[in-house]
Amino acid sequence: MSVITYRQALRETLRAEMHRDEDVFLIGEEIGIFEGSYKITEGLLKEFGERRVRDTPIAEEGFVGTAIGAAMLGLRPVVELMTINFSLLAIDQIVNHAAKIYGMFGGQTSVPMVIRTPGGGGQQLGATHSQNIELFYSFVPGLKVLAPSTPGDAASMLRAAIRDDDPVLFLENLGLYNSKGEVPDDGDQVAEIGRAAVTREGSDITLIGYSRMAVVAQQVAEKLAEDDISVEVVDLRSLRPLDRETIVESVRKTGSAVIAEDDWLTYGIGAEIAATIQEGAFDFLDAPVRRVAMAEVPLPYAKPLETAALPSVDSVITAVKETLNAVGRRVG
């Protein structure tokens, strides 16, 4: 095992997959000469050349459409969108074409492409550059939506996404790029798409998160362990397909649940998780399912306001304790 950053895990996986399969190529804004806004593609233009690392104009609809066409013809494009906020400029290509071509053509052609894109707040980038709008795409049949939280998962899930024959939206939270974790040295672990992970066993309550909030969930569990509260952490990892079985199994075990998410509460990912728990584990619940999410506002630029609007370790701890109090276990 090597300990590397999330950013390095993505870069090394892209490099390895490009060596493994000559049909894999990269396309996006400033990914070549500038080496990407977040330096994920650093060094790859020099190593693979312009044929396989394609800089594009600032025209998301155009280069996403180009990638779709290339995928239909047998290549495996990996698109980099500078931010998920800019995916709105290509939403017709993603939702009406990438997601639907396989079904509309009766399975005669697939669209094996990956769209990598960062998102999330906390970086003082303003309301239009700090959104978590993965719900837009998780809603759409025909797409797969992945959201790894650790460098190890980033590597194994990106590898799986590139090798998959369906279009995959690959979410990267900006706050995770410099986080460190273990990644296998053999470089050939491929994650199972659609499988959540129980990253910490517990007995008192289930805490569910994805991407940055899966990391926060681990921090919450560690802090609450100091108060003899046993938290089971479920990292969703995949938003579509969603591993409902693992969620339900965990809640049946603990009898209560809190969901932490970086998007807005209303109609959010957490609402779908809560519905899943109600349908699959209602008779096992000792208290209502609680959700912790971002404030229902366009994210402020001012740092104190931005911090206050985002879910945090403290806000999740409060929700966990309130849920346990409702169960009948009195905690501070």
Distances (CA, A) of 45 to 14, 16, 187: 12, 14, 21
Contact 311, 261 (CB under 8 A): yes
Question: Residue 12 corresponds to which amino acid?
Answer: E
Q: Which of 79, 77, 80 is nearest to 23 (CA)?
A: 77
> 161 near 71, Cβ under 8 Å?
no
Task: Based on the residue annotation, tell me whether 30 is a catalytic residue of this protein.
Answer: no
Segment holding 322, helix H or strand E: helix 313-327
Task: Report CA-CA distances (Å) from 275 to 78, 220, 264.
Answer: 33, 23, 16
Contact 31, 55 (CB under 8 A): yes
Angle between helices 6-20 and 151-163 (to 10 degrees): 30
How many whole angstroms separate alpha carbon 105 and alpha carbon 249? 37
Active-site residue, selected from the candidate residues 12, 35, 97, 129: 129
CA distances for 12 relative to 9, 38, 43, 159, angstroms: 5, 14, 10, 10
How many residues are present in the chain? 332
Main-chain phi, psi angles of 128, to 5 degrees: -85, 0
Set 12, 17, 60, 272: catalytic member: 60
Annotated active-site residue 226? The verdict is no
Residue 48 token pair: 């693979």
Helix (H, G, I), strand (E, B) or coil at 233: strand
Residue with token string 């630029």: 301
Catalytic residues: 60, 129
